[in-house]
Amino acid sequence: MKIFSKSFLTYLVCLAIVSCTKSINSTREGQKVAAENSEDVYGDRATRWFGIYSAFGYQNDTVKDKAFIQNGIATLNNNPLYTSSYFTSIELNIPKCKWIDGDSTRLVVRLRNPADTIGSVYSYDVSLWLIGSKDSALVTFNAYDPQYTTLKVGDKQILNSNALLYLFQDWTILALEAKNKNVTVYKNHAPVLKLNYKGNKIGKLKQIHIDFKGSGQVDWAKMYNSNTNKQIMQEDFNNGHSNVIWY
């Protein structure tokens, strides 16, 4: 895992602020801000995805986007940890200039975590996170063991749910939506489970995660305002590096 000096971290914060002032390209309706390519310094995560390998008893290993985006797919399939049981996380920091209400957000991802490919790890967990300034929304699916499933925001949670048992063997569209103090999970556009989290608040969205046990795969990711259905973000992983489009 990379370790940065305090001065370098300060420099990265400045880069994140500058990235939000880049010129705006007008295409389609309205405006959208496209991320720069991935040729600048490692660690500038303001507008691009990064990956993390983790395992119990091991230090996390962080990799930049071009190490795991290939052939239109994002997948961390080059495990550097000395263990066959590990987790991967594909993460995106929200630029400081983007004020996104986490309590009115829908994250939609096309993904799979099959049981029969290189990097597959039982029991093939899949998770989505909305991480906010106040709290976080999380859903975790498990292929076989309901005791490892979760839907939660803060201290409001549903555990041990058979509704969250699923093997993502094939490509599936999975969504996590926060709206009107309810967090709802959708699979292929059909509601799976809902939780009321009144008394808790996600707040300003800071980060999103797509997590797997083993090396799952992501085809694309999108975000919407769940109240207006206006699109906020899109990433198709088509260019061999992160190319986030902000609307």
Helix (H, G, I), strand (E, B) or coil at 12: helix
Is residue 96 assigned to a domain?
A: yes
Domain that holds residue 187: 6-246
Q: What is the CATH number of the domain that holds 53?
A: 2.60.120.200
Is residue 197 assigned to a domain?
A: yes
Is residue 1 assigned to a domain?
A: no
* Cα–Cα distance for residue pair 237/227, rounded to 1 Å: 27
Is residue 71 assigned to a domain?
A: yes
* Cα–Cα distance for residue pair 46/16, rounded to 1 Å: 5
Count of domains observed in the chain: 1
Is residue 213 assigned to a domain?
A: yes
| C-beta contacts of 155-159 below 8 A and 24+ residues apart | 155/200, 156/195, 156/196, 156/197, 156/198, 156/199, 156/200, 157/195, 158/193, 158/195
Provide the greatest CA pair distance for the chain.
49
Query: How close are the terminal C-alpha atoms of the chain, in Å?
Result: 32
| Each residue's pLDDT expressed in tens, for the chain with a length of 247 residues | 433 343 433 433 344 444 454 333 333 333 333 333 333 333 444 589 999 999 999 999 999 999 999 999 999 999 999 999 999 999 999 998 999 999 999 999 999 999 999 899 999 999 999 999 999 999 999 999 999 999 999 999 999 999 999 999 999 999 999 999 999 999 999 999 999 999 999 999 999 999 999 999 999 999 999 999 999 999 999 989 999 999 9
Is residue 35 assigned to a domain?
A: yes
